[in-house]
Amino acid sequence: MNIGVPKERRPFEYRVGLPPAGVEILTQHGHTVYIEHDAGVGAGFSDQEFEKAGARIAYAVEEVFGRSDLILKVARPLQEELDWIQPGAAVAGFLHLASTRQDRMDVLLAKKITAIAWEQVSLADGSLPVLRPLSQIGGLMTAQIAARLLQNNWGGKGILLGGIPGVPPAEVAILGAGAAGLHAARGFLGLGAHVTLLDIDMTALQKAAELFPTAITMIASRRNIDRVCHYADVVVGAVLVPGGRTPVIVPRTTIKTMKPRTLIIDLSIDQGGCFETSRPTLHDQPTYVDEGILHYCVPNIPGVVGRTSTHAFFNAAMPYILELADHGIEKTISSNPAIAAAVNTHNGEMRNLVRLTDAGGNDGME
Active site residues: 96, 270
| Alpha-carbon radius of gyration of the chain | 21
Decide: helix, strand or coil at residue 248.
Answer: coil
Contact 345, 109 (CB under 8 A): yes
Q: CA-to-CA distance for 22 and 245, rounded, in angstroms?
A: 31
Burial of 308 (0-12, 13-18, 19+ CB in 10 A): middle
Q: For residue 39, which of 56, 31, 25 has the smallest C-alpha distance? A: 56
Contact 301, 270 (CB under 8 A): no
Contact 6, 73 (CB under 8 A): yes
Please report the beta strands in the chain, taking only residues with DSSP state E, as ranges in sequence order.
Answer: 2-5, 32-36, 56-58, 70-75, 90-94, 114-117, 171-175, 194-199, 216-219, 234-237, 263-266, 287-290, 293-296, 343-346, 349-350
Q: Which amino acid is at 230?
A: H
